[in-house]
A and B are shown apart, each in its own frame.
Chain A
Amino acid sequence: MSVPAELGYTNEHEWVAVADGVATVGITSYAAEALGDIVYVEPPEVGATLTAGDTCGEVESTKSVSDLYSPVDGEVVDVNRAAVDEPEVIGSDPFGQGWLFKVELSGDPADLLTPEQYTTLTEGEG
């Protein structure tokens, strides 16, 4: 399982990359593998104000649907239309082309898990 070292993580199996005050958010490869084939994703809308820990969308696979949670406080400034149109990319490249939305941070990002902490989390669930 891949857990890129440069990213932050959440208990809800999302990853966060922060650059210039903007957080890019996606789901981890662990989450994508657990979900199976992803058929539908509904990210938050551009302009929406998010609060860390709140649900802000959903990811649907053959077997089930999961909520998306915002890992940070801020305003949505972009969503990945390509992933909405072709959700397969979330499974095939979750840390890259399969990113889901970008948030302009209104404060410091909340406590994120380090790659080591996240790896421990998934090993506990595995």
Chain B
Amino acid sequence: MPADPRTTPLHEVHKRLGANLVDFAGWVMPLRYGSETTEHQAVRETAGLFDLSHMGEIHVAGPQAAEFLDYALVGYLSKVTVGRARYTMITDADGGVLDDIIVYRLAEDDYLVVANAANSSTVLAALADRVTGFEATVEDRSADYALIAVQGPKAVDILAPLTDADLAAIKYYAGYSHTVAGCAVLLARTGYTGEDGFEIFADPGDAARVWEALTESGAAHGLRPAGLSARDTLRLEAGMPLYGNELSTDITPFEAGLGRVVKLEKPGDFVGRAALAARAESGPRRVLVGLRGRGRRVPRQGHTVLRDGVPVGTVTSGAPSPTLGAPIAMASVDAATDLTSGAFAVDVRGRAEDADLVELPFYDRNR
């Protein structure tokens, strides 16, 4: 029997806001507060406020923390300077993806690993297993952090009056100790929406205060609370993978078009190196492509992709795109597929819906 779902430090806030709450990865999380399309558009045009406290936080510390992470992950974490962060992955020995994670270097010998809620215990177990022989410790700190994200073009304007940080000096994928609303936090310029924005790791006891301060500051800027539904369509438009959709233990990072996270050039062995080096040599077995539907019916995860009527792959994520006003999907297709010609379609519940191959991401704020 699974345990009762956990609630975040902002649970009462969500209830007061009338959120539609759902069980997600063992947590009670807001799916949406009102219209998910409105929430999505707010993030693209003004800003959105997210509770991401379900994410897993794992501290890795000690004199050999850097060497250990170089061994345990596919990334080159000893190269990351203090205050910066990396998007990377942890794989099994076969190169299968266990999770995609963000790693912050908090100090020379102190890293924060942020894992997906559903994979947090897997990542923790793998790190604890792999740390043997290293002068480093692995500690589950998930209960010590609330995580609040403010995302969108107005994020800087909303956050600036509340923090001691010079936001202009915080680069993308950087994170430092600062204050927000008088509370000590780790303030990071990261996100999962395709917009500029910040993720704020706060003490659970401070979460409501930080949330309320952002809500108040954001009122004049069109800030809206946004739920997991908007988060999913935002990341899909931005071409960002979701574990369980684009990523799984059945594929290596190369099959998801993310071979760049595998740092084969780093010295020493790491878990998955031999398998990943072989895959880099042979090329991926599958490629991730973008599809834009011509009609209105929406391709969904698991639907078959057709080229001239012949199955060539499977949809990994699909949704109606609020920004493009059309159905969009990411799909994993056989690497041998000729993508330069042919008519593409998706079998949507028994009917082929025409779709065009398009470059990922579907949405790029800098374009």
Contacts and interface: CB of A to CB of B under 8 A. Distances in A.
B154 interface: no
A39 B324 CA distance: 13
Nearest to A39: B320
Interface string B16-44: 00001000000000011001110000000
Contacts of B319: 62-63
Nearest to A41: B296
A46 interface: no
Contact of A36 (B36, B297, B298, B300): B36
A62 B233 contact: yes
B294 interface: no
Residue among A37, A40, A60 with max Cβ neighbours from chain B (10 Å): A37
A65 B350 CA distance: 13
B320 A65 contact: no
B349 interface: yes
B297 A37 contact: no
Contacts of A40: 296-298, 320
Contacts of A39: 296, 298, 320
B298 A37 contact: no
Interface in B278-311: 296-298, 300
Given A62-B229, A65-B298, A65-B300, A36 B32 contact: yes
A65 B319 CA distance: 10
Chain A interface size, as a band, is 10 to 19
A63 B229 contact: yes
A54 to B, nearest CB: 15
Nearest to B230: A62
Interface in A15-44: 33, 36-37, 39-40, 42
A40 B353 CA distance: 14
A60 B320 contact: yes
Contact of A37 (B37, B300, B349): B37
A115 B349 CA distance: 32
A17 B296 CA distance: 29
A37 B141 CA distance: 36
Interface in B303-354: 319-320, 349
A103 B63 CA distance: 75
Contact of B36 (A37, A58, A60): A37
Interface of A: 33, 36-37, 39-40, 42, 58, 60, 62-65
List 9 A-B pairs, minimum CB-CB distance, nearest first. Answer: A39-B320, A40-B296, A37-B37, A62-B36, A37-B35, A36-B36, A37-B36, A60-B298, A63-B229
Given A60-B297, A63-B36, A65-B349, 16 more contacts: A36-B20, A36-B31, A36-B35, A39-B298, A39-B320, A40-B297, A40-B320, A58-B297, A58-B349, A60-B298, A60-B320, A62-B36, A62-B233, A63-B232, A63-B319, A65-B300
Interface of B: 20, 31-32, 35-37, 229, 232-233, 296-298, 300, 319-320, 349
10 contacts: A33-B20, A39-B298, A40-B298, A40-B320, A42-B297, A60-B297, A60-B320, A63-B36, A65-B297, A65-B349
